[in-house]
């Protein structure tokens, strides 16, 4: 296939961003990296020649290169303007490796200008329905592409599979799964299938926090919002008009008494200190499930016919795939007309810099194939 | 995206072909069907106008349309010639819904002529390594695309996932799974996890045959060749130079004494009649596994570092994902450097007209997006 010249702007050099740049640098024929932005710094290849390129594998020392332009933080409009000045016949792609809602809400600007967007950032796809619609309408009008596989299940083939099912005319009836690596780890440890565990909930949370499996404030995992955002995306792909992740029931695992503690270091510490007061409630839930020969898990589900999205605790048979999940794995089951009573299942690590970046890079490869 | 005019030739109207045409007819903007071939008949839109098109949803009555050209069976060269006379600026795609090795060995001709190929036919990708290489080299030289997702696991996202892992630089270390819906059903029924089963092997085979789950001659499933072909494809995608599916060990489940019975109706009947003589051997295998707290399953595996491909019986822990498989589901586990100790798993129906056709149509959609 004849391939156009592709110019790449990458925002974010956190865990995912760093892995992405590393993986990008090892592609046999990578696109030309011309913009690399981190919080307050932007590195640019001088326009309009877009030369020299920024070396993706060596970006940390590239800012010392006098041939590259250094700038402070650029606004989304400024980035659109820079990337859309690419020479005629070439195309530009934005890779957003942040979780920034402001940048996400500017995707329509990029897309209308013909700049494709690849991102693991959930915000653009799981906020107001109007933004979702604006993103896809803008892509169509600008002749640009949007890929966001890593917004659900990191590098696992979740969205691509669901889009294929829908595009080929299968009827998706139900989607169910464990969508949070953090909550997967917490429940697999707190209520394992194989042995009855004496573990206290607060100890498990504390352990996960120490291992870096939770957000700095574990309440950002325990509130269920991350799972709700993923369900919002899946439901919209199936065609449900979900207004926002707040428009369906989310069962929060934060005790009401601790919800209003501030998100400061002191507030987080007080949360962790007081969490043991509520261990009895979680143990009761675990024991109740055990009496029924089951285990408790934190899941999301979509019932398409009922137009119902739910996020929260449910009991599962011990020999079910969800109960048998290991470590911090995700599992997503698609029930469809064609697949019948046994769902199509995708399972594996659903978080982590390397596998998330892999999903972003695989998306970028698809965009490069199509542009 | 501006889309080119795409002309489609479809070969085969068996179980997969029929489902494919049905699904194709429901696409919002399907490509133009200009050639439809079944064993001894070919229906064509008169070239060079390629008009009128063949109605995909109504192909069975279309042969009565006097505006369409009827012909006997065309050779691959004749089909290449017909499809490559498409007007300048348009593109053609061959969808091969047969399992014909002769047509598969002609893929390079199609591809060199710029005709893309989409197929669930394993033969082209699992025969001699020279044909595999010729196919992909021809695609590159002809600027055409080849997609064959449904050659492994039907519509399950198996090959696309593996190609993404490889293309983004992950190190695939091991692939393991149950790749045959028929053998999955046989062992899930013969040696279920939950209850000890008194089922005799020959009865289970007979039941599967009656349900239409086996090939007309069950030895075509029991010889392991179908699984070996799938493993050959996966191994080649990972980069192993597998010469042919005969170049690694395949454990056949056909008793040696019955292997040489002819493939005629009488031969098949004698096979089924004499199979009970060998029930003791299979029961012994089952009981041996049970003593170790395990179950026996027919699996394929690839150890990349050892360059080792194997197909045959293995014992699995009862709480393993492979042991817990239901019905005639497939399961494929990818062990990679990035995914660590817990593999990326894809599971679900790996056979059947509807889900296989869905994989073919999803591939076709990707080709349409890229052409």
Helices and strands (H, E) in chain A, number of each type:
15, 12
**B362 near A CB under 8 A:** yes
- What is each CA distance from B279 to A16, B101, B190, B200, B205, in whole angstroms? 55, 34, 11, 6, 11
Residue in B138, B159, B168 to test binding to A, most A beta-carbons within 10 Å: B168
The mean predicted confidence, pLDDT, of chain A is 94
For this structure, is B230 an active site residue? Answer: yes
Q: What residue spans of chain A are helical by DSSP H? A: 15-25, 59-62, 76-83, 101-104, 107-112, 123-126, 129-142, 159-167, 181-190, 201-210, 219-222, 225-238, 265-274, 279-291, 353-370
* Pairing state between β A146-147 and A172-178: unpaired
- The yes-or-no verdict on residue B130 having pLDDT over 60 is yes
- The rounded Cα B167 to chain-centroid distance in angstroms is 22
In this predicted complex, what is the ipTM? 0.95
- The yes-or-no verdict on residue A2 having pLDDT over 70 is no
Contact residues, chain B, for A348 at CB < 8 Å: 339, 342-345
Query: For the segment A257-285, what is each residue's pLDDT rounded down to a tens digit?
Result: 999 999 999 999 999 999 999 999 999 99
Q: Which of A35, A321, A364, A25 has its CA nearest to residue B321? A: A321
3-state secondary structure of B87: coil
Contact residues, chain B, for A345 at CB < 8 Å: 345-348
Contact residues, chain B, for A336 at CB < 8 Å: none
**A118 near B CB under 8 A:** no
Angle of CA points B356, A177, A349, to nearest 5°: 85
What is the homologous superfamily of the domain B6-155+355-370 according to CATH? NAD(P)-binding Rossmann-like Domain (3.40.50.720)
Confidence of residue A309 (pLDDT cuts 50, 70, 90): very high
**B165 near A CB under 8 A:** yes
Is A263 annotated as belonging to a binding site?
no
- The yes-or-no verdict on residue B197 having pLDDT over 70 is yes
Q: Which residues contact A140 (CB under 8 A, 6 or more apart)?
A: none
Name the residue of chain B whose CA is nearest to A346's CA: B346
- The arithmetic mean of pLDDT across residues B213-232, rounded, is 94
CB contact under 8 A, A342 and B326: yes
CA distance A244 to A134: 14
Phi/psi for A267 (5° steps) reads: -65, -45
3-state secondary structure of B126: helix
Query: For the segment B64-120, what is each residue's pLDDT rounded down to a tens digit?
Result: 899 999 999 999 999 999 999 888 889 999 999 999 999 999 999 999 999 999 999
- The arithmetic mean of pLDDT across residues A28-45, rounded, is 94
And the tokens for A141?
Answer: 């009008």
Contact residues, chain B, for A344 at CB < 8 Å: 155-156, 346-349
- The yes-or-no verdict on residue A165 having pLDDT over 50 is yes
Query: For the segment A210-259, what is each residue's pLDDT rounded down to a tens digit?
Result: 988 888 899 999 999 999 999 999 999 999 999 999 999 999 999 999 99
**A365 near B CB under 8 A:** yes
- The arithmetic mean of pLDDT across residues A133-140, rounded, is 98
Contact residues, chain A, for B193 at CB < 8 Å: 319
Is A224 annotated as belonging to a binding site?
no
**B278 near A CB under 8 A:** no
DSSP, residue by residue, A52-70: SPP-GGGHHHHTT-TTSEE
Q: What residue spans of B239-316 are helical by DSSP H? A: 265-274, 279-291
Confidence of residue A3 (pLDDT cuts 50, 70, 90): low
- The yes-or-no verdict on residue A134 having pLDDT over 80 is yes
The predicted structure's pLDDT at residue B160: 98
The predicted structure's pLDDT at residue A170: 98
Query: For the segment B246-296, what is each residue's pLDDT rounded down to a tens digit?
Result: 999 999 999 999 999 999 999 999 999 999 999 999 999 999 999 999 999
Domain with CATH 3.30.360.10 in chain B: 159-349
CB contact under 8 A, A338 and B354: yes
- The yes-or-no verdict on residue A68 having pLDDT over 50 is yes
Name the residue of chain B whose CA is nearest to A347's CA: B345
Query: For the segment B157-185, what is each residue's pLDDT rounded down to a tens digit?
Result: 999 999 999 999 999 999 999 999 999 99
Asked if the peptide bond before residue A48 counts as cis, ω within 30 degrees of 0, the response is yes
CB contact under 8 A, A370 and B327: no
Nearest to B349 among A164, A194, A342 (CB): A342
Query: For the segment B58-72, what is each residue's pLDDT rounded down to a tens digit?
Result: 998 988 899 999 999
**A290 near B CB under 8 A:** no
Long-range CB contacts for residues B74-82, cutoff 8 Å, separation at least 24? B74/B37, B74/B42, B76/B102, B76/B103, B76/B106, B76/B109, B76/B110, B77/B106, B77/B109, B79/B9, B79/B11, B79/B35, B79/B37, B79/B110, B80/B106, B80/B109, B80/B110, B80/B113, B80/B115, B82/B9, B82/B35, B82/B44, B82/B47
CA distance B35 to A219: 60
Percent of chain B predicted with pLDDT > 90: 87
CB contact under 8 A, B358 and A327: no
Query: Which residues of B are known binding-site members?
Result: 12-17, 98, 122, 215
DSSP B28: S
- The rounded Cα B333 to chain-centroid distance in angstroms is 18
Contact residues, chain B, for A369 at CB < 8 Å: 370
Instruction: Count the Cβ atoms, other than its own, within 10 Å of residue B130.
Output: 10
- The residues that bridge with B241 in the sheet, in sequence order, are none
Phi/psi for A10 (5° steps) reads: -120, 130
CATH 3.30.360.10 fits B159-349, yes or no: yes
The predicted structure's pLDDT at residue A212: 83
CA distance B124 to B136: 11
CB contact under 8 A, B348 and A349: no
Asked if the peptide bond before residue A171 counts as cis, ω within 30 degrees of 0, the response is no
Percent of chain A predicted with pLDDT > 70: 99
Q: Which residues contact A147 (CB under 8 A, 6 or more apart)?
A: A116, A117, A118, A119, A363, A364, A366, A367
CB contact under 8 A, A143 and B358: no
H helix or E strand, kind and range, residue B364: helix B353-370
Confidence of residue A129 (pLDDT cuts 50, 70, 90): very high
Residue in A149, A168, A359 to test binding to B, most B beta-carbons within 10 Å: A168
Domain with CATH 3.40.50.720 in chain A: 6-155+355-370
**Is A292 within 8 Å of A315 (Cβ atoms)?**
yes
**B195 near A CB under 8 A:** no
Confidence of residue B3 (pLDDT cuts 50, 70, 90): low
Residue in A23, A118, A338 to test binding to B, most B beta-carbons within 10 Å: A338
**A239 near B CB under 8 A:** no
Query: Which residues of B are known binding-site members for L-homoserine?
Result: 215
CB contact under 8 A, A348 and B365: no
What is chain B's Cα-based Rg? Answer: 22
Nearest to A358 among B168, B194, B342 (CB): B168
Query: For the segment B311-329, what is each residue's pLDDT rounded down to a tens digit?
Result: 999 999 988 889 989 888 9
Instruction: Count the Cβ atoms, other than its own, within 10 Å of residue A316.
Output: 21
- The yes-or-no verdict on residue B196 having pLDDT over 80 is no
Angle of CA points B318, B321, B325, to nearest 5°: 90
Q: What share of chain A is helix, strand, coil (3-state, %, to 5)?
A: 40, 20, 40
- The yes-or-no verdict on residue A1 having pLDDT over 50 is no
Nearest to B338 among A338, A355, A370 (CB): A355
How far apart, in Å, do the first and last CA atoms of chain B sit? 11
Q: Which of A153, A131, A149, A152 has its CA nearest to residue A243? A: A131
Query: For the segment A89-121, what is each residue's pLDDT rounded down to a tens digit?
Result: 899 999 999 999 999 999 999 999 999 999 999
The mean predicted confidence, pLDDT, of chain B is 94
- The yes-or-no verdict on residue B2 having pLDDT over 60 is no
And the tokens for A301?
Answer: 């589900």
- The distance of B146 to chain A (nearest Cα, Å) reads 12
């Amino acid at each position: 296939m004849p391939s156009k010249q592709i110019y790449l702007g990458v925002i974010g050099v956190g865990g995912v961003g760093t892995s992405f740049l590393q993986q990008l640098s090892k592609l046999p024929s990578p696109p030309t990296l011309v913009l690399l932005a981190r919080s307050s710094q932007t590195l640019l290849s001088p326009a309009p020649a877009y030369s020299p390129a920024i070396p993706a594998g060596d970006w940390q020392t590239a800012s010392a290169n006098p041939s590259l332009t250094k700038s402070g933080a650029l606004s989304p409009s400024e980035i659109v303007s820079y990337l859309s000045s690419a020479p005629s016949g070439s195309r530009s792609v934005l890779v957003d490796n942040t979780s920034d809602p402001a940048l996400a809400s500017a995707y329509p600007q990029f897309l209308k200008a013909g700049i494709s967007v690849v991102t693991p950032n959930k915000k653009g796809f799981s906020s107001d329905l109007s933004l979702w619609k604006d993103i896809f309408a803008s892509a169509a009008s600008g002749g640009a592409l949007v890929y966001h596989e890593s917004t659900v299940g990191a590098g696992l083939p979740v969205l691509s599979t669901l889009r294929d099912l829908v595009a080929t005319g299968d009827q998706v009836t139900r989607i169910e799964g464990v969508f949070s690596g953090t909550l997967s780890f917490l429940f697999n440890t707190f209520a394992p299938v194989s042995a009855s565990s004496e573990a206290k909930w607060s100890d498990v949370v504390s352990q996960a926090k120490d291992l870096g499996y939770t957000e700095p404030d574990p309440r950002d995992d325990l509130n269920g919002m991350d799972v709700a955002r993923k369900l919002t995306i899946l439901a919209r792909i199936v065609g449900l008009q979900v207004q926002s992740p707040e428009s369906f029931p989310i069962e929060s695992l934060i005790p009401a008494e601790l919800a209003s503690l501030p998100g400061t270091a002191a507030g987080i510490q007080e949360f962790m200190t007081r969490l043991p007061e509520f261990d009895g409630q979680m143990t009761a839930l675990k024991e109740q499930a055990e009496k029924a020969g089951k285990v408790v898990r934190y899941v999301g589900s979509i019932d398409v016919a009922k137009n119902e999205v739910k996020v929260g605790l449910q009991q599962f048979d011990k020999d079910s795939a969800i109960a048998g999940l290991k470590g911090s794995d995700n599992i997503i089951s698609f029930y469809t007309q064609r697949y019948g009573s046994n769902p199509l299942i995708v399972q594996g690590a659903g978080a982590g810099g390397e596998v998330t970046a892999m999903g972003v890079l695989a998306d970028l490869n698809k965009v490069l194939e199509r542009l």
